[in-house]
């Protein structure tokens, strides 16, 4: 692989992936028959979290229609907000001929392609410069059009943007007119992102939406309770969490929801190596079984979960918590939140140490 080959690939992708192809594909389908955002009340907000199984696509049309199908199913169930998983904006990379070889070429020798792999920054720069235009078009045009056609707010997972000679990992939120309402960048890059030199931000700001201020915290940024507390202080009650992680991550989000008095919609993947379950989490007092789970996918595969929430209910907000020694000692994963303690019911996937 060299710069010349990457330039040829870039030239070819400029014909295979174009705004017109995306628009004609999506606009050729029927628009939503429901307009769920015409009446909005905080007592009855419906949110949907997407669970994706498919990671490879043959054409941009296949990718766009797959994303559309989840939004359409959510809207039919009354959803006003649809959340997609982390890195969904990178999936069009699988349209590039020889993309597996490019991925192996980017990794340090002996590294497996995981979220923690070490990446050659010099080669990453070459790939980013060559292919970022088509990836950005595929990401923005697909989800902007979906939001407009379905008359719904969309948290478009995340994508990578090459700006000012650096990679920026970003989630963009679209309104029902298809226009961007705002975005959130990665707060603390970890694993492969740190090796790749992804830029970080100190800003954690709500995105104004027809549903009220919306927080977006994606992937491992959820390990930091400060992100959720900042959003709570800024009058946010609903947080979208696009992720690509499974394991103890749902327990972490239940703690975040309960600790900050927030509702959390988590979109994820259900595929080998990333076997998550999409879910909507809430303070324990706002859930039917007092376990912090408002709704959660019960099985794998491609699907979405939709849940009605009462954002106006306040009597379950926890009091200020006391310092947790494990957190102060740096044991973030085992402490989960500043006040310590897990939700009422803890899954068997993870048990905190004594």
- pLDDT, residue 273, reads 80
pLDDT, tens digit (0-9, with 9 covering 90-100), for 19-65: 999 999 998 876 667 889 999 999 999 999 999 999 999 999 999 99
- pLDDT, residue 322, reads 53
Written as six digits, the tokens of 68 are: 């559309």
- Name which residue leads in pLDDT, 221 or 334: 221
CA neighbor of 354 nearest in space, from 335, 336, 337: 335
Contact 45, 83 (CB under 8 A): no
- pLDDT, residue 112, reads 84
Q: What is the mean pLDDT of the chain?
A: 87
- pLDDT, residue 258, reads 87
Cα separation of 245 and 255, whole Å?
Answer: 16
pLDDT, tens digit (0-9, with 9 covering 90-100), for 198-218: 999 989 999 999 999 999 999
pLDDT-derived band of residue 328, with 50, 70 and 90 as boundaries?
Answer: low
- Name which residue leads in pLDDT, 315 or 51: 51
Which fold would CATH assign to domain 21-36+45-335? Nitrilase/N-carbamoyl-D-aminoacid amidohydrolase (3.60.110)
């Amino acid at each position: 692989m060299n710069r010349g080959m990457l330039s040829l690939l870039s030239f070819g992708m400029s014909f295979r992936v174009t705004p017109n192809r995306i628009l004609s594909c999506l606009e050729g389908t029927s628009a939503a028959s429901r307009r769920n955002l015409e009446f909005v009340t905080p007592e009855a907000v419906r949110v949907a979290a997407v669970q994706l199984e498919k990671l490879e696509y043959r054409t941009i049309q296949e990718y766009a229609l797959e994303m559309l199908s989840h939004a359409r199913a959510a809207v039919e169930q009354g959803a006003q907000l649809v959340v997609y998983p982390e890195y969904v904006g990178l999936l069009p990379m699988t349209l590039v001929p020889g993309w597996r070889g490019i991925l192996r070429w980017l990794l340090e020798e002996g590294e497996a392609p995981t979220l923690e792999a070490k990446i050659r920054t010099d080669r990453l720069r070459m790939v980013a410069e060559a292919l970022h235009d088509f990836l950005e078009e595929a990401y923005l045009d697909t989800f902007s059009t979906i939001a407009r056609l379905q008359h719904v707010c969309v948290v478009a997972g995340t994508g990578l943007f090459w700006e000012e000679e650096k990679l920026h990992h970003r989630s963009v939120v679209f309104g029902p007119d298809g226009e961007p309402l705002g975005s959130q960048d990665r707060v603390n890059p970890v694993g492969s992102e740190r090796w790749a030199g992804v830029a970080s931000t100190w800003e954690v700001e709500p995105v104004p939406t027809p549903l009220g201020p919306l927080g977006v915290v994606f992937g491992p940024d959820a390990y930091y309770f400060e992100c959720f507390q900042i959003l709570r202080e800024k009058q946010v009650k609903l947080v979208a969490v696009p992720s690509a992680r499974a394991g103890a991550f749902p327990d972490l989000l239940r703690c975040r929801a309960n600790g900050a008095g927030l509702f959390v919609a988590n979109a994820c993947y259900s595929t080998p190596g990333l076997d998550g379950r999409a879910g909507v989490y809430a303070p324990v007092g706002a859930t039917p079984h007092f376990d912090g789970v408002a709704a959660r996918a019960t099985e794998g595969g491609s699907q979405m979960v939709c849940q009605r929430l009462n954002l106006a209910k306040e009597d379950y907000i926890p009091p200020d918590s006391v310092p947790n020694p494990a957190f102060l000692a740096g044991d973030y994963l085992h402490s989960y939140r500043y006040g310590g303690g897990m939700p009422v019911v803890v899954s068997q996937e993870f048990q905190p140490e004594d």
